[in-house]
Amino acid sequence: MMSSQPPRPVSETLPRDVLLTLHEQYGLVPTAVSTLGGGHQSNAFRLDCGVQHVVLKLGPRWRSSAELEWSYSAAEHVAQAMAVAAIPLRTTAKAQVVRVGGRPMTVWPYVEGRGIDVSSDKECDLTAAVLGRMQARLATWRGAGARPATSPFALAMRRPARAPEALRDAGLDRWLTRWRARRSRLQGPMHGDFWGNNVLFDGRRIAAVIDWDDTRVGSLDRELAWAVWEFCGNPDLAALDGPKACRFLARYASGGGPVPVADRSFVVPLIREHLRYEALRALGAAEHGEVVDHGYTASAIRAFGALRGQSLGSAARPRRLRPKAVPAAPDSLQDIAARIGRTPRCGEQTGRT
Ligand SMILES: Nc1ncnc2c1ncn2[C@@H]1O[C@H](COP(=O)(O)OP(=O)(O)O)[C@@H](O)[C@H]1O
Ligand SMILES: [Mg+2]
User: Exposed, middle or buried, 116 (CB in 10 Å: 0-12/13-18/19+)?
Assistant: buried
More confident residue, 175 or 290: 175
Query: Does ligand 1 lie within 6 Å of residue 246's CB atom?
Result: no
Q: Is 324 helix (H, G, I), strand (E, B) or coil?
A: coil
Rg (CA), the chain: 21
Each residue of 239-292: pLDDT tens digit? 999 999 999 999 999 999 999 999 999 999 999 999 999 999 999 988 888 888
CA distance 200 to 217: 23
- DSSP state letter for 193: -
Instruction: Indicate if ligand 1 lies below 6 Å from the C-beta of 89.
Output: no
* Residue to probe by mutation, ligand 1, list 57, 72, 209, 214, most atoms within 8 Å of CB: 57
Residue 315 pLDDT level (bands cut at 50, 70, 90): low
Measured distance CA(30)–CA(223) in Å, rounded: 37
- How far is residue 233's CA from residue 246's CA, in Å, rounded to a whole number? 12
For residue 254, the SS3 value is helix
Q: 126: exposed, middle or buried (C-beta count within 10 Å: 0-12, 13-18, 19+)?
A: buried
pLDDT of 344 > 60? The answer is: no
Tens-digit pLDDT profile for residues 51-107 = 999 999 999 999 999 999 999 999 999 999 999 999 999 999 999 999 999 999 999
Phi, psi (degrees; rounded to nearest 5) at 114: -140, 165
**Which ligand neighbours the alpha carbon of 211 most closely?**
1
Domains in the chain, start-ordered, CATH in brackets?
31-114 (3.30.200.20), 117-146+156-339 (3.90.1200.10)
Ligand 1: residue whose CA is nearest its atom 2: 110
* Secondary structure letter of residue 67 according to DSSP: H
Ligand 1, residue 113: give the atom nearest the CA.
4
User: Could you tell me the pTM of the whole model?
Assistant: 0.86
Annotate 229-248 with b (16+ C-beta within 10 A) or e (fewer).
bbbbbbbeebbbbbebbbbb
Q: List own/partner pairs for 342-349 with CB under 8 A and 24 or more apart.
A: 342/286, 342/287, 344/286, 344/294, 345/289, 348/286, 348/291, 348/292, 348/294, 349/291
Query: Residue 143: what pLDDT?
Result: 67
Evaluate: CB of 248 within 6 angstroms of ligand 1: no
Angle at 91 between CA 5 and CA 133, to 5 degrees: 150
Q: Which atom of ligand 1 is nearest to the CA of 211?
A: 17
CA of 198 to the centre of ligand 2 (A): 5
**pLDDT for res 321:** 52
